[in-house]
Amino acid sequence: MTFIIREAIAADIPALAHLHVKTWNATYPDVQKKPTYEIRERQWREAFEGTDGSWFCFVVEGPNGELVGFAKGTPYEHLDLPGFAGELSKIYLLREYQRESLGRRVVCHVVRRFVSQGICSMVLFADPQNPSCRFYEALGAERLLDKAANFHGGYGWRDLRSLAAMCPTEWVSGCWILSGRCGMIARRPRRDVGCGILQTSADP
């Protein structure tokens, strides 16, 4: 199975909005009032219209060219956490493509982009009950506590270079081909296109 991770473009807006609705609804089934397709479409359209180069989004294309996941990065400029400069503001994969290392690979793209922008720290805010918290912890994120030492779902990497070090070069530079199940990288990097090609035995 082949996946491509590439930068999102404006033409992706309808597919991205559909994917955002589907993945968000699956992640938060108990939320009563869920954002509709129209809301997500408008949010993405406004984001692309107002682009100043400060945010970016990577999408994961599945075997038939359909979008199966995405991650968005933005600068983090709030005073509450002055030690952090970037935010992983969204990361979602369709359920049938989870736990196949795609999340790790998308994060590697986000980290590489931040580092290339001179942004060497990253924060994100999750629901503390969300299983994705285990994902961030597996990637070495630090739990961010409030003054009373309570955890509210905030995670941070104070030095993205340590996270970048967990990203094999093949995952983030040029293309890679990955055969078999997660983590078995066939060393056949391609230089002809700037994207990632991933082959796994996943059976979605």
Ligand X SMILES: CC(C)(COP(=O)(O)OP(=O)(O)OC[C@H]1O[C@@H](n2cnc3c(N)ncnc32)[C@H](O)[C@@H]1OP(=O)(O)O)[C@@H](O)C(=O)NCCC(=O)NCCS
Residue ranges that bind ligand X, judged by CB under 6 A:
23, 27, 91-93, 98-104, 126, 130-132, 134-135, 138
Q: Please, what is the minimum distance in Å from the beta carbon of residue 107 to ligand X?
A: 8
Residue 125, classed as helix, strand or coil, is strand
- For every residue of 103-165, DSSP letters joined together read HHHHHHHHHHHHHHTT---EEEE--TTSTHHHHHHHTTPEEEE-TTS-EEEEEEES-HHHHHT
Residue 27, classed as helix, strand or coil, is helix
Q: Please, what is the minimum distance in Å from the beta carbon of residue 22 to ligand X?
A: 11
Residue 88, classed as helix, strand or coil, is strand
Which residue lies nearer to ligand X by CB, 58 or 175? 58
Which residue lies nearer to ligand X by CB, 91 or 119? 91
Q: Please, what is the minimum distance in Å from the beta carbon of residue 131 to ligand X?
A: 3
Query: Taking CB positions, which residue lies at the least distance from ligand X?
Result: 103
Q: Please, what is the minimum distance in Å from the beta carbon of residue 203 to ligand X?
A: 15
Q: Which residues face 90 on adjacent strands?
A: 72
**CA 24 – CA 155 distance, rounded (Å):** 19
Which residue lies nearer to ligand X by CB, 51 or 95? 95
Q: Please, what is the minimum distance in Å from the beta carbon of residue 31 to ligand X?
A: 13
**CA 104 – CA 168 distance, rounded (Å):** 11
Which residue lies nearer to ligand X by CB, 103 or 156? 103
Which residue lies nearer to ligand X by CB, 51 or 86? 86
Kind of pairing, strands 151-157 and 122-125? Answer: antiparallel
